[in-house]
Structures are given as C-alpha cells and as structure tokens.
Structure 1
Amino acid sequence: MNLKTRPEILRYTAFTTSPAGGNPAGVVLDASALEDAAMLATAAEVGYSETAFVTAADHEARRFGLRFFSPLAEVAFCGHATVATAVALADRIGPGPLVFDTPVGEIALDTSAETGGTVTATLTSVPTSSRPADQEELRASLAALRWSPEDLDTALPPHVAFGGNEHLVLAVASRERLAALDYDFDALAEVMRRHAWTTLQLVWRETQDLFHARNPFPIGGVVEDPATGAAAAALGGYLRTLGALPPSGAFSIRQGEDLGRPSLLRVEASAADPRVRVSGQAVAIAGA
C-alpha cells in the first residue's frame, strides 16, 4: 500500500463514554480504493478485534457500504465496529439516520447527540434466530472452556444464536464462574472454526433485565472482546426464542468488566419482531 495515498485510520471505542472502556475498533471512512488484501493488512496493523471499512458512500442519502476485518480474516458483521463507524460519521456529517450495506444485509441505524456532545448509535439487526446446541457442540465447547455441565444455569439452556453471525450462548450459574474464565485458546478456536461461530456469548443473569457477558474470540486472533454488539443482538433473539425476555423487552449487558474495559450495551427485543435493537455510545481514542 502506498503510504502517500493510504486512507486515514480512525480509532474509536464503542459501548462506553470513556476512552479507557469499551471495545476499540479501527474505522476507515474512505476504503473505496482498497483491495481485500489491503484491508486485511490494515486490520492486522491496527490490531483491534475488528476494523470497519467504508467501501461506498452516498452522503446525501446517508447510505454507506461497510465491511469488517479482524487481524486474521474478514468478518460478516461486527456490532461494535458498526456503532463506532456510525458515531464517526455522525461526528462528521451530523446525527440522524444511517443505512449500512453489509455482507449480512442492510443495517439501519439511528444516531443522536447527547448532552455534552457524546453520540449514541442504535442499530437494528438482521432477523435473529436461535436453536438448541447439540450434544457434540456442547461437549467440545465445555472441554475447551474447562467447564462442566454443572457450571451452567439450567434455566437458560445452551443455544446457537444468530444476530448477523452465529454465537454459542452459554449461561453460567454464578458470576464467579464467569469471572474465572481461563480457556484453551487453540482448542476453542478449532471448535469455533468447525461450527462457523464468531464468538461465544458467555453470560450470567443478575436480574431479569441485566446480564454480564464475556465473549472469547480466538478465531479472530483475540482472546476476548470487551463489547460485542452482534452477540448482544443474538442474545436478544435467544431470549425471544425462549420466551424469557423481560416484560418491557429491554435489557442491559455489562461486558468487559473482567478485562478492565467496562462496557454497557442496551438491547431491545420484541416477541413480534425477529430484529433486535442494540444501542451504545462511542468516543474517539485521542492520540491513537
């Protein structure tokens, strides 16, 4: 890549109001001239779990083409990089509705400026779905996590849920089990490659409308994501399938606390609509 013509790489962190929290993402607002290899090399250089690339732009219509790359491969959809890109665009063209054309389909967003100038972005996912995990999927995953079936919350059965990507959802019975995550990186990566899962959505339900989550991401070359918007959408679809949504349909996910990068994701789901709304704020990482 010619350094003189190389596009600017922005760095934002999503699902937080502090540069020290959330999940960092690279954002390239003009990637129209970049080939796949250049985008992958840029994502590897940035080193975050994902970097988003705007490959087409219609500023008048506020519609943009968007692709996502981890340091190792292209990812079909990434929620936190979507939120980061939406906020980066709102910072430049003003808040309001946006549409992203992604490999998984059209993603509609709303952006709004909060007091103090921080921008909140709300994405509406593609239709979600969820199915029970089979015994082989569960056995191999528990072995790689170094967990036992007794660690799981029997009220929330293991499922494979989709919200743009597939995620194995495992609910644990205690916050302590979630905090003590120490998995076999290579073994879990192999299980995830075999089943085409993007992350694992490991959760503990504190109350009906508050979850704590951790998301291993070894197939992306990252031990763990501190905030995962696609998995949050998948969790909304999972709870919808189980009939376990709160009466309001809204709940929050606290993630990244065990990594020292606290994140807050707000989710809205409905029994009448398979699409899920995920909201969060994002801020630029100064000097990055």
Structure 2
Amino acid sequence: MTHPEVLRYTAFSADPAGGNPAGVVLDSTGLDAAAMLGIAAALGYSETAFLTPAGPTGPGGTGPGVFDVRYFSPKTEVPFCGHATVAAAVALAERSGPGALLFRTAAGEVPVETARNDGRLRATLTSVEPHTEEIADADLTEALAALDWPAADLDPALPPRIAFAGARHLVIGAATRERLAALSYDVPRLTALMERLDLVTLQLVHRAAPEVFHVRDPFPVGGVYEDPATGAAAAAFGAYARELGLVPAASVLTLHQGEDLGRPGVLTVELRAGDPRVRVSGEGAALPTA
C-alpha cells in the first residue's frame, strides 16, 4: 500500500502556534479503517481527516468539489469533526483556490465555503440539522463528580444539555472563568460515562458577554485529554443556545478556546432565522514541517 501524504494544519487560528492541529489526508483512496486509525494514532493530533475525492457536482461538473470524509482520533473514529473539516478545507483552498466544497461524512452532508480575506484563508462549515436533549440527573451527577465540579459552581442560566450537530456533546455552564480554567478531571470515570452516553466531548462553557463565550472540551474518549478548538461542539453549542432562547434566533457568537492550553483560537458561530443548521467558521494555517 502506498503511504499517503499527511498534511498538518491548525484550525481556528491563522497563527500556527494557536488553534487546534489536525492531520489531513487529501486522497485516502485504498486506505481502510485500520490504516486510517494507525495514521491518526501515529500523528497524535485530536483528529485527522481522511478525504476521498468523489468528483464535482452540478451541470457539466461545475459544482463544488465533493469528498467522502472520515475522521479518526488516536483511539477511535468519530462521525464528524469541525476543526479537521476547517483544516482540510483550507488545505484544499491553498491548492485549488477558494470556493465551495461538499463533505459527505458519517453524520451527513456538510457544505463548506472557503474565502481569502486580507491574505488569510477562512472556512465556513454548515452543520447537519442539530438537536438537543435532556441529561438524566444521575448522569449529570456522575459528570460533575468526574470533573470534581460542585453543583454550586454551575451557571444556572446555562442548564446542562446534550447537544448534537454531527456529534454528541454534553454542555455544562461554569459560573466563573476561574472555574473553567481549573480543569482537572478523573479520566477513567469521565471516559466511562462518555462512552455510555455516546458523547464525543464535554462542552464546558463560561459566558463572558451576551454573545461571547469561553469554552473547553475534554476528549478522553478520543485519547486526548483536551481538544484545543472544537468545531463540532461549537455547532452543537450554537443549536443549544438558540433552542434554549439564550441568544436571538439570528446571532453571531464568538467562542474563545485553547487559551488555557496556550493555543488560543477563535470560533465564529452563526445562527440564521428560519434555518436550523448552524454555521461555524474560522481561519486556518499550515503547520511548519519538522
């Protein structure tokens, strides 16, 4: 089997020192799941995107480039990953120019638009249709015990929910920025709960302003203690905020993530009135080669 070229990009930052690093394989034709998992594990990033070109669409083949995409963490495959989507889209735009793409993922079809502004490439993904659901009291109690977060440290204005926009995330609101910053959790205990509830990450959130949030995302089920910037969780959070009436139906939210890891990134979440799908955008950049 030919060894594919593995690109390295950061997503949700134009600075290679910020955002969330992702692996990108632009042509994974011939790779099976075991080979993809092996590549992702060797790379060690929270996610690697494996693309298989499926051709253009539209009359005369003039539509967006279409790709079948799979996402692997060092431990497992996930149905959708936002930061690796942004990284892959930026990599494609560098090679073929900005424009429209369509990623066919295990979660559904995800349109992606890329554009260049002031010399920087930016990608915007449109999520699959999202939803939220309640979490059982016993499961929430277990999550807080694994986090070692007293219930008194939660923000009552951000009620815990499981939110989905391609993958499942448990949203928990922290009353203070200090509570969010002090993240030290029981890895086996939280992993067991997340596997039972089919969660990809926890989306831990502190509201800094009406439409500005700080977020952190434990990702032990993927073999990563914490994800530095999580586009799928950002999309899920946008749906959560809208469904609970925390923000207007048409809103642009700014999520700051990675600051506590020394890899700051910015995720922009756009909600449109009358459209249930959520748009998440951010910049990206190639990482220096070793």
Q: TM-score, normalised by structure 1?
A: 0.96
Could you say which residue in structure 1 is the equivalent of 2:98? 95
* Residue 246 of structure 1, CA deviation: 4.1
Supply the AA of the counterpart residue of 1:112: A
Q: Residue 236 in 1 paired to residue 238 in 2?
A: yes
Could you say which residue in structure 1 is the equivalent of 2:83? 80
* Residue 271 of structure 1, CA deviation: 4.7
Could you say which residue in structure 2 is the equivalent of 1:34? 31
Could you say which residue in structure 1 is the equivalent of 2:274? 272
Assess if the C-alpha contact under 8 Å between 1:210 and 1:252 holds in 2.
yes
Assess if the C-alpha contact under 8 Å between 2:242 and 2:248 holds in 1.
no
Aligned-partner Cα distance in 1 for 2:250–2:71: 32
What SS is found at the alignment partner of 1:258?
Answer: helix
Could you say which residue in structure 1 is the equivalent of 2:150? 148
Structure 1 residue ranges, 4+ long, deviating more than 6 angstroms after superposition: none
Could you say which residue in structure 2 is the equivalent of 1:106? 109
Q: How many residues align?
A: 284
Aligned pair partner of 2:9 in 7, 12, 16 = 12
Q: Residue 181 in 1 paired to residue 183 in 2?
A: yes
Assess if the C-alpha contact under 8 Å between 1:240 and 1:270 holds in 2.
no
Among all aligned residue pairs of Structure 1 and Structure 2, give the percentage whose two residues are the same amino acid.
Answer: 56
Unaligned runs of 5+ in 2: none
Supply the AA of the counterpart residue of 2:262: G
Assess if the C-alpha contact under 8 Å between 2:205 and 2:213 holds in 1.
yes
After superposition, give the CA deviation of every residue in 1:172-229 in whole Å (9 maximum; x if it has no partner).
1000000001101111111100100000000000001100000000000000001000
Aligned-partner Cα distance in 2 for 1:122–1:108: 8
Of stretches 208-217 and 50-59 in structure 1, the one that deviates more from structure 2 is 50-59
After superposition, give the CA deviation of every residue in 1:48-69 in whole Å (9 maximum; x if it has no partner).
0000001233155411111000
What SS is found at the alignment partner of 1:82?
Answer: helix
Could you say which residue in structure 2 is the equivalent of 1:161? 163
Aligned-partner Cα distance in 1 for 2:111–2:130: 15
Assess if the C-alpha contact under 8 Å between 1:132 and 1:157 holds in 2.
no
Aligned pair partner of 1:63 in 34, 45, 66 = 66
* Residue 273 of structure 1, CA deviation: 2.0
Supply the AA of the counterpart residue of 2:105: T
Q: TM-score, normalised by structure 2?
A: 0.96
Aligned pair partner of 2:50 in 50, 53, 78 = 53
Assess if the C-alpha contact under 8 Å between 1:29 and 1:54 holds in 2.
yes
What SS is found at the alignment partner of 1:32?
Answer: coil
* Residue 131 of structure 1, CA deviation: 1.8
Aligned pair partner of 1:119 in 115, 118, 121 = 121
Assess if the C-alpha contact under 8 Å between 2:238 and 2:270 holds in 1.
yes
After superposition, give the CA deviation of every residue in 1:139-161 in whole Å (9 maximum; x if it has no partner).
11000000111110001100000
Assess if the C-alpha contact under 8 Å between 2:229 and 2:265 holds in 1.
yes
Supply the AA of the counterpart residue of 2:180: L
What SS is found at the alignment partner of 2:216?
Answer: strand
